[in-house]
Amino acid sequence: MTVDFLEVKNLKTCFFTRWGTVKAVDGVSFSLKQGETLGLVGESGCGKSITCLSILRLVPQPAGQIVDGQILLEGEDLRKKSEVEMRKVRGAKISMILQDPMSSLNPVFSIGDQLTEAIKIHRDLRGKNMWQRAREVLKMVQIPSPELCLKSWPHQLSGGMRQRVVGAICLSCEPRLLIADEPTTSLDATIQVQYLRLLREIQEKAKLTLIFVTHDFGIVARMCKRVAVMYAGRIVEMADVKKLFDHPAHPYTEALMKAVPKMETKERLATIAGQPPPLWDLPPGCIFAPRCPYVKDECREQYPPTVEIQNGHSLSCWKYF
Amino acid sequence: MSTFKNLGFLGKCLGVRSYVFQFRFRAKDFPIIPGLIIFLFIFMACFGEFLAPYSATEGNLQDKFLPPFFQANGSMTHPLGTDMMGRDMLSRIMVGARPSFIVVLTVIILGGFGGTALGIISGYKGGTADVVLMRVVDVTIAFPIILAAMLLSVVFGPSIQNVIISISVIIWSRYARVIRGEVLSVKEKDFVSQARVAGCSGLRIMLRHIFPNVVNTMLVMLTLQVGSIIILEASLSFLGAGIPAPTPVWGSMIAKGREYITIAWWIPFFPGFALALVCLSFNILGDWLREAMDPKLRQI
Amino acid sequence: MQFIIRKLFQSFIALIVFSAIAFGLLRLAGDPAVQFMTPDGTEEDYQRIKSRLGLDKPVYIQYIFFVANAAKGDFGVSIFTKRPVLDSIKEMLPNSVRLIGVSAFMAFIIGIPLGVTAASKKGKPIDTFARVLAGLGQSLPIFWVGLMLIQLFVINLGILPSSGMGSWRHYLMPAFTLAFFFMPGIIRLLRSSMLEALDSEYIRLARIKGVSEKIIVWKHALRNSLLPLLSYSTIYIALLITGAIVTETVFAWPGVGRLCYRAILTNDFPLIQGVVLLTAVIVIIANFITDILYSYVDPRIRLKH
């Protein structure tokens, strides 16, 4: 049994503010093998993005700190690395596509400058070879005229093009793990489909390990093999995509599925009553208890441990005890 | 804390929504010492004349050049010493707060509020009026205020009105431009469209919907600018183009005291120190206000 | 190209407005004919002087003469020096420029690194130091600072000269005073623009790429933060001029500022008017150049034309 490619064990990230401590990530664990795809799903503010930033150790400081847990990349704990060592990891081993293409590119540098910077740092290529590689990467993300693109400025490109450029920048040094943080949320619907298809192709060809963050189950179904559902800083359920869709076990997942509008039925849109809890003031016990239709007394007292109810399907809920 | 509740009530009376004072919860950070100094400044401006131990304009020539109490030959009868005409420094400083305060207050009303009003109108109405106004702003905003004031003082003779007019005339443009920028983004918001749909007149929209949303920016700008207005007035008085004698003004005290700096360092020192304290307090207050209202206003 | 022409036109309009205001003030300052009268002059003499000065012509003709003279460089004769105003200004201007140049240089050399470091090391001692320095620079009256420096270095320590221009030593106090006055604007603006830049998504992407923190601060963030500095430059020029006038007066520096001070003392209207007009021209030109420069430097604007 080989070492998992990425293993996150009990990750806890907090933000220390003058109004209190915000527990953005409160004990997240999962593992990925090389080439696997994991979808990270949840409402806004559930901690998906912070989890990803924690893996890269790019949590906004000084307020944000990773307070507990291990992040094992091919067996090495990333938390133990120095900043200089982490910089070698970022871009070369792990990379991340950000959500808003309009603001991810520096407006005062050309695309070529921004693209070749990563190549310069990690691949140590200069001159003609560097530009050659840049052009290759742009072709890989299916940009029609790479030469023109290199000379362009960010504001001259459309949203879809920019997001491809961001993809190119992230992939330019052939990382083994790619995190995509809602990369299509800001794009038009038709462009979304194209982009996802592109991402999928690249992932399959390069056998990339992919973590895809989104709030859209449809995208998860298309892009990922496994999915983890997050709520208020924890993973409440994790399973293969098909199993999760067919048999959602956690009450929250169940409610989320019900809330997705379906074309066939004419039922009223189901909603989940209440609001997610404030992350600086989490309720004792199960964090979903205040809104759970199956709530029992023990739910309010203690947080349920994570159990595996089937092969590869795990969740945290007192219902299954 | 209740001061803020009262301010909020007052704000409501003025038609300004009390969310301007929503920073109540940050009141514990309030810079107390600067606040006290400002209060003292305003207090002296109003009542200094009556509280001063001696006359600020007449002195006993026999008592001239007495040093402050902590130096040899000094005493507590004249704690800050006396000047070249035997006048008590402490009294002069106390009374000198008033002209500075009057200038600041009037400039704030004329230049600050006036500039804000013009900015709101210009931003909301748009059109040729807006374009013309902004061109005028472009030119006046970068003109050295001091030269304008000097010009006026040579033409009309130095007076407090000249100082107020020249500072207001240049300073309004700063407000007009910044507030107009804010108005441009506020007027796109939905509640403005709703008000328009409901049939509100332009004036009503500007007063009740737009103004409360830009008043934060205006207040922050005001408190931060008070310091520079005070220094500007003092500089003008120092150069002789500001408020003329016999009114005791901190700036001209320093100017006159310059000649005697070798024998009586305290004559130019203490008025300047008073100026520095007041300005520093206003700046600290302005910074606190900015933080309390909206950390995103950092740019100002 | 259109952009440049439009800006030129605007500048021209501004120039006309300014000259009209100055002309109006000239008339308000008093009847120039009176100044040339001798105590025992008669009504006839008065009319004669008036016609000689062209004052009997309609107002707009007078205005045109005024502008034509100004364009030729004739701003009238200074009451005090009895020489043409332009000559006096030309003589003193280089000194002022030298002072302003040295001070601005000092302010930028200290201010820019301070502002950048204060932002990148926010909350640490260097940040507090920068903010305190900026706060003091904005609060302490510039002339008072100058006087206190004189008190310390000339009277108490006796190591620096108190006035005039001469050796490099003469530059120290005036330049420092002006720089101290001017620096806070730079420090504050740079610090806040840097803070905003460092918070942005593109900096996050640069960090994801693995770029070192030093390059992120000094290349990626700074390049964006220098733009607001450029757009503030006209205000900075006004600040420098204001500060220079006061500084020159305190240190008896033989520049245009000190000329103005003397003009106030002697009620020398033509001189002040000349300086004001010249400053207006400088401001308008500076505005124009800044607009053009900004549109060139910011790629977002440059490539729209």
pLDDT tens, position by position, C243-291: 999 999 998 888 888 888 888 888 777 788 788 888 888 888 888 888 8
* Single-letter code of the amino acid located at A160: G
What pLDDT score was predicted for residue C52? Answer: 65
* Single-letter code of the amino acid located at A210: L
Calpha distance A215→A234 (Å, rounded)? 15
What pLDDT score was predicted for residue A53? Answer: 92
Chain B nearest-CA residue for C30: B155
- The answer to whether position C111 is within a domain reads yes
Look at C208 and A109 and tell me if their CB atoms are within 8 Å. no
Per residue in C100-141, pLDDT (tens digit) is 999 999 999 999 999 999 999 888 899 999 999 998 998 899
What pLDDT score was predicted for residue B18? Answer: 41
Strand order in the sheet with A20-32: A20-32, A6-17, A64-73, A76-77
What pLDDT score was predicted for residue A246? Answer: 85
What is the distance, to the nearest Å, from the Cα of residue B239 to the centroid of all Cα atoms in its chain? 20
What pLDDT score was predicted for residue B26? Answer: 53
Per residue in B8-41, pLDDT (tens digit) is 444 444 444 444 444 444 556 778 888 899 998 9
Percent with pLDDT over 90 in chain B: 7
- CA-based radius of gyration for chain A: 21
- The pLDDT confidence band at residue B299, using thresholds 50, 70 and 90, is very low
Chain C nearest-CA residue for A175: C209
- The answer to whether position C48 is within a domain reads no
Mutate to test the interface with B, among C78, C96, C143, C258 (most CBs of B within 10 A): C143
C205 at the A interface (CB within 8 A)?
yes
**DSSP string spanning chain C?**
-HHHHHHHHHHHHHHHHHHHHHHHHHHHT--HHHHT--TT--HHHHHHHHHHTTTTS-HHHHHHHHHHHHHHT---B-TTT-SBHHHHHHHHHHHHHHHHHHHHHHHHHHHHHHHHHHHHTTTSHHHHHHHHHHHHHHHS-HHHHHHHHHIIIIIIS--S--SS--SHHHHHHHHHHHHHHHHHHHHHHHHHHHHHHHTSHHHHHHHHHT--HHHIIIIIIHHHHHHHHHHTHHHHHHHHHHHHHHHHHHHT-SSHHHHHHHHHHHT-HHHHHHHHHHHHHHHHHHHHHHHHHHHHHSHHHHTT-
What pLDDT score was predicted for residue C80? Answer: 66
Within 8 A of B137 by CB-CB distance, chain C residues are none
Give the domains, in start order, of chain B with CATH numbers. Answer: 102-300 (1.10.3720.10)
Look at C204 and A117 and tell me if their CB atoms are within 8 Å. no
ipTM: 0.86
**Quick one: which H or E segment has residue A238?**
strand A234-240
Calpha distance B22→B11 (Å, rounded)? 11
The partner residues of A124 in beta bridges, in order of sequence, read none
- Residue where the block lists tokens 């106390």: B94
Look at A90 and C210 and tell me if their CB atoms are within 8 Å. yes
What pLDDT score was predicted for residue B285? Answer: 87
Look at B239 and C245 and tell me if their CB atoms are within 8 Å. yes
* Single-letter code of the amino acid located at B116: T
Rounded alpha-carbon distances, angstroms, from residue B33 to B29, B281, B282:
12, 8, 11
Look at C143 and B254 and tell me if their CB atoms are within 8 Å. yes
Structure tokens at C31: 């009847």
**Collapsed DSSP state (helix, strand, coil) of residue A19:** coil
- The answer to whether position C274 is within a domain reads no
The residue among A1 and B78 whose pLDDT is bigger is: B78
- The answer to whether position C279 is within a domain reads no
Q: Are strands A37-41 and A209-214 parallel, antiparallel or unpaired?
A: parallel
Within 8 A of C196 by CB-CB distance, chain B residues are 298-299
* Global pTM value: 0.82
Structure tokens at A51: 């989890």
The partner residues of A210 in beta bridges, in order of sequence, read A37, A178
- Residue where the block lists tokens 């009262």: B6
**Nearest by CB: C200 against A95, A96, A103:** A103
Per residue in A85-99, pLDDT (tens digit) is 988 888 888 999 998
C32 preceded by cis ω (within 30°)? no
Best CA proximity match to B285, nearest among A135, C138, C102, A30: C138
- The answer to whether position C79 is within a domain reads no
- pLDDT exceeds cutoff 80 at C16: no
Per residue in A220-274, pLDDT (tens digit) is 888 899 999 998 888 888 999 888 888 888 888 888 887 777 767 677 777 777 7
Q: Is the dihedral of CA C56, C59, C65, C71 positive or negative?
A: positive
Mutate to test the interface with A, among C198, C199, C205, C211 (most CBs of A within 10 A): C205
Structure tokens at A256: 């989320």
Q: Work out how many domains chain C is built from and give that number.
A: 1
- Residue where the block lists tokens 């401006």: B45
A11 contacts: CB under 8 Å, gap ≥ 6:
A25, A27, A28, A29, A51, A54, A66, A68, A69, A70, A71
C 113-152 residues inside an 8 A Cβ radius of A = 123
- Report the pLDDT averaged over residues A280-304: 80
Rounded (10°) CA dihedral C64, C67, C73, C76:
80
Best CA proximity match to C50, nearest among C35, C64, C61: C35
- pLDDT exceeds cutoff 80 at C145: yes
**DSSP string spanning B92-141?**
HHHHHHHHHHHHHHHHIIIIIIHHHHHHHHHHHH-HHHHHHHHHHHHHHH
CA distance C239 to chain A (A): 28
Chain C nearest-CA residue for B234: C141
- Report the pLDDT averaged over residues A280-286: 79
Calpha distance A35→A33 (Å, rounded)? 6
Per residue in A139-186, pLDDT (tens digit) is 989 898 899 999 999 989 988 899 999 999 999 888 999 999 999 888
Look over chain A and give the mean of its residue pLDDT values, rounded to a whole number: 86
Q: Are strands A64-73 and A6-17 parallel, antiparallel or unpaired?
A: antiparallel
C 227-256 residues inside an 8 A Cβ radius of B = 228, 234-235, 237-239, 241-242, 245-246, 249-250
* Single-letter code of the amino acid located at B65: F
Residue A49 buriedness (CB in 10 A; 0-12 / 13-18 / 19+): buried
- Report the pLDDT averaged over residues C183-206: 91
**Collapsed DSSP state (helix, strand, coil) of residue A77:** strand
What pLDDT score was predicted for residue C92? Answer: 87
**Are residues B287 and B220 in contact, defined by beta-carbon separation less than 8 angstroms?**
no
* Single-letter code of the amino acid located at B109: I
- pLDDT exceeds cutoff 90 at C220: yes
Best CA proximity match to B240, nearest among B255, B230, B227: B255
Calpha distance A188→A170 (Å, rounded)? 22
- The answer to whether position C29 is within a domain reads no
**Are residues B234 and B250 in contact, defined by beta-carbon separation less than 8 angstroms?**
yes
Calpha distance C298→A155 (Å, rounded)? 11
DSSP state of B88: B
Q: Which domain holds residue C225?
A: 93-255
A122 at the C interface (CB within 8 A)?
yes
Look over chain C and give the mean of its residue pLDDT values, rounded to a whole number: 82
Strand order in the sheet with A209-214: A94-97, A177-181, A209-214, A37-41, A226-231, A234-240, A313-315, A307-310
- The answer to whether position C249 is within a domain reads yes
Within 8 A of C227 by CB-CB distance, chain A residues are 108
C 13-32 residues inside an 8 A Cβ radius of B = 13-14, 17-18, 25, 28-29
Rounded alpha-carbon distances, angstroms, from residue B36 to B4, B39, B229, B284, C199:
16, 5, 20, 12, 36
Per residue in C28-81, pLDDT (tens digit) is 666 655 555 666 667 777 777 666 666 666 777 777 777 777 777 666 666 666
- Report the pLDDT averaged over residues B53-71: 79
**Nearest by CB: A108 against C204, C210, C299:** C299
Look at C303 and A106 and tell me if their CB atoms are within 8 Å. no
Within 8 A of C212 by CB-CB distance, chain A residues are 87
**Quick one: which H or E segment has residue A213?**
strand A209-214
CA distance A56 to chain C (A): 8
CA distance A78 to chain C (A): 14
- CA-based radius of gyration for chain C: 24
C286 at the B interface (CB within 8 A)?
yes
Give the domains, in start order, of chain A with CATH numbers. Answer: 6-81+209-320 (3.40.50.300)
Mutate to test the interface with B, among C10, C163, C173, C242 (most CBs of B within 10 A): C242
**CA atoms lying within 13 Å on the CB side of residue B259:** 6
Chain C nearest-CA residue for A87: C210
Rounded alpha-carbon distances, angstroms, from residue B32 to B294, C68, C74:
20, 59, 56
**Are residues A172 and A198 in contact, defined by beta-carbon separation less than 8 angstroms?**
no
Calpha distance C292→B184 (Å, rounded)? 24
Where residue C130 sits, what CATH number does that domain have?
1.10.3720.10
Region of B73 (left: φ > 0; alpha: ψ -120 to 50; beta: rest) is left
Residue C233 buriedness (CB in 10 A; 0-12 / 13-18 / 19+): middle
Percent with pLDDT over 70 in chain B: 88
Mutate to test the interface with C, among B41, B140, B143, B228 (most CBs of C within 10 A): B143
Within 8 A of C155 by CB-CB distance, chain B residues are 261-262, 265
**Nearest by CB: A153 against C200, C205, C299:** C299
B179 contacts: CB under 8 Å, gap ≥ 6:
B115, B116, B119, B120, B123, B214, B217, B218
DSSP state of A90: B
What pLDDT score was predicted for residue C32? Answer: 59
Best CA proximity match to C199, nearest among A279, B296, B157: B296
What pLDDT score was predicted for residue B105? Answer: 92
C83 contacts: CB under 8 Å, gap ≥ 6:
C77
Structure tokens at A62: 């000084």
Q: What's phi and psi for A147, nearest 5 deg?
A: -60, -45
**Nearest by CB: C211 against A95, A103, A117:** A117
Calpha distance A142→A195 (Å, rounded)? 10
